[in-house]
Amino acid sequence: MWRFTGNQLKRWRTKANVSRDELAAASNYSPDTIKAMEQGVRMPTARVLDVADELCRAEGLLSAAKEYLSREKFPARAQEFMEREREAISLWWYEVTYVPGLLQTKAYANALIKNHVPPLDEETVAERVMARMERQAILTERKPPVSLSFVVYEAALHCPQVDGEQLHRLLEASRLSNIVLQVLPFARAHAAAFMGSVVFLETRDHERFVYSEGQLGSELSADPSAVSRATERLSMIRAQALSPDESARFIERMVDRHG
């Protein structure tokens, strides 16, 4: 949809003899950003579509794309995983660098998404933060409740963006009956912990998936051998981590240090 809308945007702009610089100036974006939208690299924003619709005399045909683009609240590489997450009956998540998205405060999520490279425009940042908050309905609003297990490597809790509010959020989540939250301290980490973050989930149809993200892309796999390897790795990491009670006390001590 990004590519199709971007292609239509370029076609209408060319047909109307509107330069990329003119559209950029009118919509308060840089020409490079307009180019990225036309190429499908970035999502065309509502403001650009509305401005282009008027400049190109598209009579609402460009503005109409907003309804369809607004449904794509997540980066393209993560959309399939988000679909599976909505169907999950159980989920295991190990995170090395960040607090898992399902446990993030709005302020923490905003800080991470705003620091995206390459930078995102304000509308996209706001949409992705809202989408991340909406995903958190899985914690408390599903019936029957989803079984959730999180292990967070200690390094993630020492990031500058992790403040007292975020630590309290982790403690609140850990008290929910359907959530197990563990901390993996530096002293207990072994080789399996340094291979990156990983998520295992099972859907209502008892399909099992493993999801991992890296700097250059992400992968969602239902391959039985991949799922088996991920499950074994997650089991090892959970065994290395502090117990849920020990983890809560660990986080409480961090809260005390934050004042």
Q: How many domains does the chain have?
A: 2
122 and 218 both lie in a single domain: yes
CATH of the domain at 44: 1.10.260.40
Is residue 117 domain-shared with residue 193, that is, in the same domain?
yes
Range of the domain at 213: 76-258
- Domain limit, last residue, from 69, 91, 106: 69
**Does residue 109 sit in the same domain as residue 45?**
no
Angle, CA 87 vertex, CA 64 and CA 109 arms, to 5°: 65
For 193-206, what is each residue's pLDDT tens digit? 999 999 999 998 88
Q: Which two tokens stand for residue 226?
A: 């991949």
**Rounded average pLDDT over 149-164:** 96
Helix (H, G, I), strand (E, B) or coil at 179: strand
pLDDT surpassing 90 at residue 106: yes
User: Quick check: 72 pLDDT over 90?
Assistant: no
Residues 130 and 86 in one domain: yes
Q: Where are the beta strands (DSSP E) in the chain?
A: 88-95, 147-153, 179-184, 198-203, 208-214, 217-221
Check whether residue 148 and residue 215 sit in a common domain: yes
Do 180 and 207 belong to one domain?
Answer: yes
Question: What's this model's pTM, rounded to 2 decimal places?
Answer: 0.74
Residues 59 and 93 in one domain: no
Tokens of 21: 């610089």
Res 245: pLDDT: 98
What does the pLDDT read at residue 252? 97
CA triplet 81, 84, 90: central angle to 5 degrees?
A: 115
What is the reported pLDDT for 121? 83
Specify the pLDDT at position 29: 86
Average pLDDT rounded to a whole number, residues 4-8: 92
- pLDDT over 70, % of the chain: 95
**pLDDT (average), residues 80-109:** 94
Q: Are residues 208 and 110 in the same domain?
A: yes
pLDDT of 215 above 70: no
Question: Who has greater pLDDT, 79 or 235?
Answer: 235
